[in-house]
Structure 1
Amino acid sequence: MIVTLTANPALDRTITLLAPLRPGEVQAASSVREDAGGKGVNVARAIAAAGQQALAVLPLAEHDPYAVPLRAAGVDARCVPVHGAVRANLTIADPAGETTKLNLSGSPMTDQDARALVAAVVDACAGARWLVLAGSLPPGAADDFYVRVVDAVRAAYGGSAPRVAVDTSGPALRAVIDAGLADLVKPNDEELAELVGTALPEPEGETSDEAAHAAADAAVLAVARELVPVRARAALVTLGSRGALLVTADGAWAARAPRIRLASTVGAGDSSLAGYLLAESAGADEPLRLRTAIRYGAAAAALPGTQPPAPHDLPADDLVVHRLA
């Protein structure tokens, strides 16, 4: 089983336009949809869509409208009662898949809320293989909230505690990295660069130029090696349309993303993480874990809104994985 914690869930509203966004003008939309979002919930939805067991832990007030799409998503959830309402995020997508996001900060987390969430996660982790800590923290939460969660889970279960995957950014990610607690971190290239305080070069030349891609991969790997394996045991670095890198103590691998018809990038990184966890839980080696992560991310980007891909949505491309020096 895979347990996810979403401390700051969001009701994701996606509006698809008939033409590119023109700020300040009135435009027609072709569709609108609502999804139960938040990074941890998205991961749990993708895992459930693959027929595997996932349990999403999240704060949710009684009678919050978010409960309706959450039930419709078919995800097993453990909801911790709170007083604040789940935030709403708005995504505007044009026909080419270009997205504009408006994200609210969410309701404040009280000390009582924090204690209740930690206790719920500890209880949910009995027998779990992975614990996924994903997404931003709400106002009022300490930067080291995820550290507190990991400490509590490992104190409760010792050597049988689940492995910990972390997908967040900013001070919350830095706190986890500084504590050296993560078995896997999943930053994108921008989050990785921010974490180590450096800039990563974009590939020069055409996107099909393998030499340019190789140079960019080498730069990402050099930065990732500042974290792995000393401050995190592994890193899955997502690179958008360029694919992803997997870096562990034993080696590093890279693969390109397949060509898709882009619908929305929202939630694609969450699906990449779900694909990795599904492959790892099935005993796959590192290249297959990376290949599965990229295929899941690409499939999510080809779907509208924050839809998690099911196995039948995955692109059929046989992705080539390269081992990096």
Structure 2
Amino acid sequence: MIVTVTPNPSLDRTYRVDGFRLGALHRADHVTVEASGKGVNVSRVLAVRGVPTMAVLPLGGSEGGHLAGLLAEAGLPHEGVGVAAAARVNVTVIEPGGRTTKVNAPGEALTAAEQEALVRRTREAALTEAASWVACCGSLPPGTDPELTVRLIQAAHSAGARAAVDTSGAALPAALSAGADLIKPNREELAELTGRELRTVEAVVAAAREVAAGGTAVLASIGVDGAVLVDGRVCLWAKAPSIEPVNTTGAGDTLLAGYLAAASAESGSMRPESRLAEAVALGTSACLAPGTAELPGTLLRPEHVVVRRLDGAGRAAGDSGVPINHAAAERAAGEPRRSS
């Protein structure tokens, strides 16, 4: 069982348009409304893959009621915490070729009592379901102390579960200080966390090593360059075959879902290379479906993902002196540019 907690869930409205120009009138040819937020996305993918999951989230206002109805309609197990403020609504515009424009609403602050209820419900769910992981995902509502992330991690650990965190801003270093077992930043979030410019995969690897030295594993998603996994035992870089993306929104959430499923108690003996290949294959597959964190009918297979073990200098084993950035690595290996 994997429990997810989403402090700032949303309704996601997605519009597909023939082309997008600022200041112009557009007529969408397809519109969807989905229950969303990063933790909800992770749980949705896990459920589709047959992995037991429970989504914990605050639900308020008519938007929260709509969100809860969508979760029930999808058969996604969830525990709602009643709050006063309405759930936020996000807008996504998708053009041919998969270029995506997003406008995310900020959400509303949770009161101290509502935060306490969210932490309590998360711990109860993890205990009741004997969760192997609790994934704390997404931004915190405006004005929320990053201490909420710390308390959610503590709730996971007190219930005997490992804690994974996919967040940004001040909540990310707070997660490290609280002893999160895994963080899943993207390139920009890892750059902010370490105060570095991460223009190459080699730079991403160095930054991830720096963070993982504190004892927290780092699963960094880096777009077309794939993903990097660094923990106390291994440093890996994985890339999937090149694709023509349909919608990249939620691909990172799908990557995390794939990794947590592979790293759960039931399949904990899987090698790190295999766990990362499973995650990258699933995250890349999500880019081929029109919805947020949706999976297409045919999935990319893990064996099609190239996984390299990196040395202390951030170079692939056997690629002596070749810097790990997508251009150099692809020239060295003769591989096409890939996406995840």
TM-score (norm 2): 0.86
| Stretch deviating more after TM superposition (190-199 or 253-262) | 253-262
Separation in structure 2 between the aligned mates of residue 309 and residue 74 of structure 1, nearest angstrom: 16
Aligned to 2:318: none
Aligned match of 1:315 in 300, 304, 314? 300
Alignment of 1:2-17 (within 5 A): 2-17=2-17
Separation in structure 1 between the aligned mates of residue 194 and residue 50 of structure 2, nearest angstrom: 37
Aligned to 2:115: 114
Aligned to 1:48: 47
Tell me whether 1:35 sits opposite 2:18 in the alignment: no
Aligned match of 1:228 in 209, 212, 227? 212
| 8 Å CA contact retained: 2:201, 2:225 | no
Which residue identity lines up with residue 192 of structure 2 in the other structure? E
Shift of 1:231: 4.7
Shift of 1:71: 1.7
Show structure 2 runs of 5+ residues with no match.
312-340
Aligned to 2:153: 150
- Partner SS for 1:26: coil
Which residue identity lines up with residue 94 of structure 2 in the other structure? A
Shift of 1:241: 1.4
Which residue identity lines up with residue 191 of structure 2 in the other structure? A
Alignment of 1:234-245 (within 5 A): 234-245=217-228
Aligned to 1:211: none
- Partner SS for 1:225: helix
Aligned to 2:322: none
| 8 Å CA contact retained: 2:59, 2:83 | yes
- Partner SS for 2:98: coil
Shift of 1:62: 6.6
Shift of 1:22: 0.6
- Partner SS for 2:66: coil
| 8 Å CA contact retained: 1:4, 1:54 | yes
Q: Deviations over 1:118-159 (max 9, x none)?
A: 1101100111100000000012321221101222343x43xx
Aligned to 1:192: 190
Shift of 1:61: 2.7
- Partner SS for 1:170: coil
Aligned to 2:332: none
| 8 Å CA contact retained: 1:180, 1:230 | no
Shift of 1:180: 4.4
Shift of 1:320: 1.7
Which residue identity lines up with residue 74 of structure 1 in the other structure? G
- Partner SS for 1:88: strand
Aligned match of 1:287 in 273, 276, 296? 273
Aligned to 1:204: none
Separation in structure 2 between the aligned mates of residue 231 and residue 195 of structure 1, nearest angstrom: 15
| Stretch deviating more after TM superposition (256-265 or 267-276) | 256-265
Aligned to 2:334: none
Which residue identity lines up with residue 208 of structure 2 in the other structure? A
Shift of 1:30: 1.6
| 8 Å CA contact retained: 2:153, 2:175 | no
Aligned match of 1:217 in 195, 201, 221? 201
Aligned to 2:328: none
Q: Deviations over 1:179-200 (max 9, x none)?
A: 1411111001111011010101
| 8 Å CA contact retained: 2:240, 2:304 | no
Shift of 1:176: 1.1
Shift of 1:73: 2.6
Tell me whether 1:134 sits opposite 2:137 in the alignment: yes
Aligned to 2:288: 302
Aligned to 2:326: none
Alignment of 1:237-256 (within 5 A): 237-256=220-239
TM-score (norm 1): 0.90
| 8 Å CA contact retained: 1:36, 1:73 | no
- Partner SS for 1:65: helix
Separation in structure 2 between the aligned mates of residue 61 and residue 112 of structure 1, nearest angstrom: 14
Which residue identity lines up with residue 222 of structure 1 in the other structure? A
Which residue identity lines up with residue 255 of structure 2 in the other structure? S
Show structure 1 runs of 5+ residues with no match.
202-215
| 8 Å CA contact retained: 1:35, 1:307 | no
- Partner SS for 1:29: coil
- Partner SS for 2:210: coil
Shift of 1:101: 0.6
Separation in structure 2 between the aligned mates of residue 148 and residue 255 of structure 1, nearest angstrom: 32
- Partner SS for 1:165: strand
Aligned to 1:205: none
